[in-house]
Structure 1
Amino acid sequence: MPDFKTITVEETPYLFQEATCSMDPADIGTTMGKIFQSVWAFIQKNRIETSGKVLAVYYTYNPETMTFRAGFSVSPDAANKGEAPIQFDRTPAGKVVYFQHKGAYSTLRDSYGEMMSWMEKERLTMGAPAWEVYLNDPATTPEDALLTDVYVSLS
Structure 2
Amino acid sequence: MSPAIEAAVKKTEPMTVAFIAVKGHFEQIPTAFNRLYGWISEKGYKARGPAITVYYDIPGQVPDDELRWELRSQISGDIAESEPDEEGLGVKHLEATQVAAAMHRGPYEKLEETYQALTLWVEENDYEINGPPEEAYYNDPAQTPSGEPLTEIRFPVRRT
TM-score by length of 2: 0.81
Displacement of 1:91 in angstroms is: 4.1
Q: Name stretches of at least 5 consecutive residues in structure 2 with no aligned partner.
A: none
Is 2:103 aligned against 1:100? yes
1:46 to 39, 43, 48: 43
4+ aligned runs moved over 6 Å, structure 1? none
- 1:98-142 per-residue CA deviation (whole Å, 9 max, x = no partner) reads 111111112111111111111121121001132211011111112
Aligned to 2:31: 34
Displacement of 1:39 in angstroms is: 0.8
Displacement of 1:81 in angstroms is: 5.6
Is 2:20 aligned against 1:17? yes
8 Å contact 2:82–2:92 — kept in the other structure? Answer: no
1:34 is paired with a residue whose SS is: helix
1:58 to 55, 59, 68: 55
Written as runs of structure 1 = structure 2, the 5 A alignment for 1:63-78 is 63-64=61-62, 65=64, 66-75=67-76, 77-78=78-79
1:4 to 7, 26, 51: 7
TM-score by length of 1: 0.84
Aligned to 1:25: none
- In the superposition, relative to structure 1, how do residues 52 and 10 fare at CA in structure 2: closer, same or farther (>3 Å)? closer
Displacement of 1:78 in angstroms is: 2.5
Written as runs of structure 1 = structure 2, the 5 A alignment for 1:121-140 is 121-140=124-143
8 Å contact 1:14–1:88 — kept in the other structure? Answer: yes
Aligned Cα RMSD in Å? 2.1
